[in-house]
Structure formats: structure tokens, C-alpha cells
């Protein structure tokens, strides 16, 4: 059996999914096959929403494939990265049998999707050493094999830790788990990193998948446009498990506009600014007496330990600044995550925190 097909749940290998009206190729002037209204809503003068959209908008799929350097058949569009995570867990993990492995502290949706599917959750914590959080790839491989993990989720850059495991480490891990588990690299923040994307490596490592999104660097969080890049056979299987119309037509239109050359050039300029502000904010925060540690970050955020995280959170809130409390995460009982804002917003963060007393 194909090693990718072997990773898919046995009961879904021949699953055909739902054939929607738009999934069947049709040509005609009058479309009466989907029980849609023959008139647009009066609030929709451009008639963007009257008809069901393409299940996988071809133009957008092709544009993203070009952007990420992959074949279109290896890319599945969905509602942000979250839908891709959910699809992967549902398609690969049999309830009460298979496991999902994560490396906390990490993005919480992997564990949420595992629990909703009834998959076991295996945790191999990141190791804090030399002032940073690092992946123990040997421990991940050993635990994945021992626990029967079908999925290994890695965040690169990590959220909230901010680090990127070396490309060679990830590829070696995937090869060690070939035929046993799919290694999924969540690259929601990769545009802000020094490291290149692993998306092109999917072509040569079949049990590697990469998640990408337009929510972060491309500033389209509300459009909910994301994708999973994986072996074409796995992409086809995930599509059969997906709801019929995952990408609304207005969102697809907006995403296409955001991927034209002028918009991409503006996005690149903003990425440069974010990276510059990230370095400035990190240095300034590290110099404050109330800050215990600022971790190196390859994302558009900083993970910061405080002597009194309660006081820091309250001080920022009083200044009208909302940050992410990370204290419920393993190993982060005194930490907050601060997104990189505009230069003026970052100045307000520094001004607010300057008043705090030194760490106890």
C-alpha cells in the first residue's frame, strides 16, 4: 500500500465525500442545479454572494501555489490554518486509538482538535536552554513511535516560543517517521523568519505537510484563507473530508487582490518594518527592570517573562493595551506574549512598562 494511504484512517480510504453542485463540471447559461436564488440580494449589488463558490477556487489555488513554490494539486485551500489542522486530525486519527504529538508551549488548536476527535495527546515539551526554547527531535521521534502518533505538529516559528527548528532536523525527523506518522509544520509566521519555508520540501518527503495562512503577514485574518501543502494523494483525501464550500467568493477575490504584485510589494515592506520593530522592542524590553527575559523570536511577537506578570498585565490594560496572557501554558507561569505593533504602538507599550518596579 502507498505509505501515505496507509496513514489515512482505514474507514476513510475509500470515502467519496459529498459531491456538491459546484464540484461537478457543468457548462450552461442558466444554472438551476443548486437551488440558489435567481436574484442577488439587494444588499449585494455586485452579486458576489448569490451563487455557491468554487470548492477550491482555481485562480487562488494557482496563485498560492506559485507564491509557495509547490504544485497546485499539492495544496488544499481552507478556512485559515485551523481547518487544515482539524481535517488532518479527523482524516488520520481513529478515535481512542491514534495519537497526536505536540511540543508545548505551543498553539492550542492541535490539542483542541485532538480532543474533539477522541485522539490521544502526547506532549514532548520544548527544552529551555541557552536562553531559548528548543525542539528535542530525538525525544519527539521516540515518543511518536512508542505512542503510535499519526500526527506530529511542529510550530515554526513557534507560537508563543518564537523559534524555528533547523530544516535538517525537521526533514530528518520526517524520514525517521516515514510510514508511521505525518510531520506537520505550521508556518503561520514564516514570512517574519530568517529561515526559508519547508513547503518546497514536501515534494521530496511524502510524510511532510506544511500549513500556511494569509492571516498574519498578509493582514487578511478576517478573510480566513489558509492552506495545507502535502502529498497530492493526502490532499485529495482531505478534500473528501472537507465541507463543500470552504472559501467564500468575496474572500477569495480579496485574497487574489492581495497576491498581485503591488500588494505583495507592500506586504514585503511591512514585513521588513515588523522585523526591525521586533528587534527594537526586544532590546528595549530587555533593558526594563521589571522584565526577566525576552526570548528570541522569528515571529511577529515577543515572549516576555516578568517579575510580576499580574502587574505588567494590569499596567498594560490601564494604558489601553491588550496582550496575550501565556501563564496557563507549561513552563510559562510568568510570561506574556506581545505582538509587534506599529512604531507608535510599540512606544506606548514601552512607556507603560517603564513605570513597573524591578523583578523581585
Instruction: Write the pLDDT tens digit of every residue in 115-156.
Output: 999 999 999 999 999 899 999 999 999 999 999 999 999 999
Task: Name which of 161, 153, 225 is nearest 193 in CA terms.
Answer: 161
Cα 220 from chain centroid?
Answer: 13
What gap in Å lies between CA 312 and CA 316, rounded to an integer? 6
Provide CATH 3.90.1150.10 ranges for the chain: 263-353
What gap in Å lies between CA 71 and CA 217, rounded to an integer? 22
- Count other C-beta atoms under 10 Å from residue 76's C-beta: 25
Task: Name which of 236, 232, 238 is nearest 203 in CA terms.
Answer: 232
What gap in Å lies between CA 91 and CA 88, rounded to an integer? 5
Provide CATH 3.40.640.10 ranges for the chain: 3-259
User: What residues contact 165, with CB distance under 8 A and at least 6 apart?
Assistant: 134, 135, 137, 154, 156
Instruction: Specify whether the CB–CB gap between 111 and 119 falls below 8 A.
Output: no
Q: Judge: domain 3-259, CATH 3.40.640.10.
A: yes
pLDDT at 65: 98
Pull the grid cell for residue 62.
494557482
Q: Judge: domain 263-353, CATH 3.30.465.10.
A: no
Torsion sign, CA atoms 262, 264, 266, 272:
negative
- CA end-to-end distance (rounded Å), the chain: 60
What gap in Å lies between CA 256 and CA 63, rounded to an integer? 7
What gap in Å lies between CA 82 and CA 80, rounded to an integer? 5
Phi/psi for 301 (5° steps) reads -160, 165
Pull the grid cell for residue 120.
490521544
What gap in Å lies between CA 339 and CA 310, rounded to an integer? 18
Instruction: Specify whether the CB–CB gap between 182 and 173 falls below 8 A.
Output: no
Pull the grid cell for residue 55.
470548492
Stretches where the chain sits below pLDDT 70 are 1, 358-360
pLDDT at 20: 85
Calculate the CA dihedral of residues 49, 50, 51, 57 and round it to 10 degrees. -20
Pinpoint the alpha helices (H) of 197-299. 232-241, 249-258, 261-286
pLDDT at 358: 61
- Count other C-beta atoms under 10 Å from residue 120's C-beta: 18
Amino acid at each position: 500500500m502507498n505509505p501515505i494511504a496507509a496513514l489515512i484512517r482505514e474507514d476513510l480510504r475509500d470515502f467519496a465525500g459529498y459531491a456538491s453542485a459546484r464540484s461537478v463540471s457543468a457548462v450552461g447559461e442558466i444554472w438551476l442545479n443548486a437551488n440558489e436564488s435567481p436574484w442577488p440580494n439587494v444588499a449585494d449589488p455586485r452579486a458576489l454572494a448569490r451563487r455557491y463558490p468554487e470548492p477550491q477556487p482555481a485562480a487562488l489555488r494557482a496563485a498560492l501555489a506559485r507564491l509557495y513554490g509547490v504544485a497546485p494539486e499539492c495544496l488544499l485551500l481552507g478556512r485559515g490554518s485551523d481547518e487544515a489542522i482539524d481535517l488532518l486530525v479527523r482524516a488520520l486519527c481513529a478515535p481512542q486509538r491514534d495519537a497526536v504529538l505536540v511540543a508545548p508551549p505551543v498553539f492550542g488548536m492541535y490539542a483542541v482538535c485532538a480532543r474533539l476527535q477522541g485522539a490521544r495527546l502526547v506532549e514532548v515539551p520544548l527544552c529551555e536552554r541557552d536562553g531559548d526554547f528548543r525542539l528535542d527531535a530525538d525525544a519527539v521521534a521516540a515518543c511518536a513511535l512508542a505512542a503510535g502518533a499519526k500526527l506530529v505538529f511542529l510550530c515554526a516559528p513557534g507560537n508563543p516560543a518564537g523559534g524555528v527548528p533547523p530544516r535538517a532536523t525537521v526533514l530528518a525527523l520526517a524520514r525517521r517517521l516515514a510510514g508511521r506518522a505525518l510531520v506537520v509544520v505550521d508556518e503561520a509566521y514564516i514570512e517574519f523568519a530568517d529561515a526559508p519555508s519547508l513547503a518546497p520540501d514536501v515534494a521530496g518527503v511524502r510524510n511532510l505537510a506544511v500549513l500556511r495562512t494569509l492571516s498574519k503577514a498578509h493582514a487578511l485574518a478576517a478573510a480566513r484563507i489558509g492552506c495545507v501543502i502535502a502529498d497530492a494523494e493526502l490532499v485529495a483525501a482531505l478534500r473528501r473530508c472537507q465541507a463543500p464550500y470552504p472559501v467564500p467568493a468575496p474572500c477569495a477575490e480579496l485574497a487574489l487582490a492581495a497576491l498581485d504584485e503591488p500588494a505583495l510589494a507592500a506586504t514585503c515592506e511591512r514585513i521588513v518594518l515588523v522585523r526591525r520593530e521586533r528587534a527594537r522592542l526586544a532590546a528595549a524590553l530587555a533593558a526594563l527592570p521589571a522584565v526577566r527575559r525576552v526570548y528570541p523570536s522569528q515571529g511577529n511577537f515577543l515572549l516576555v517573562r516578568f517579575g510580576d506578570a499580574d502587574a505588567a498585565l494590569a499596567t498594560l490594560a490601564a494604558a489601553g493595551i491588550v496582550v496575550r496572557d501565556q501563564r496557563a501554558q507549561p513552563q510559562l507561569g510568568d510570561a506574556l506574549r506581545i505582538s509587534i505593533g506599529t512604531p507608535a504602538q510599540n512606544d506606548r507599550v514601552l512607556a507603560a512598562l517603564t513605570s513597573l518596579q524591578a523583578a523581585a
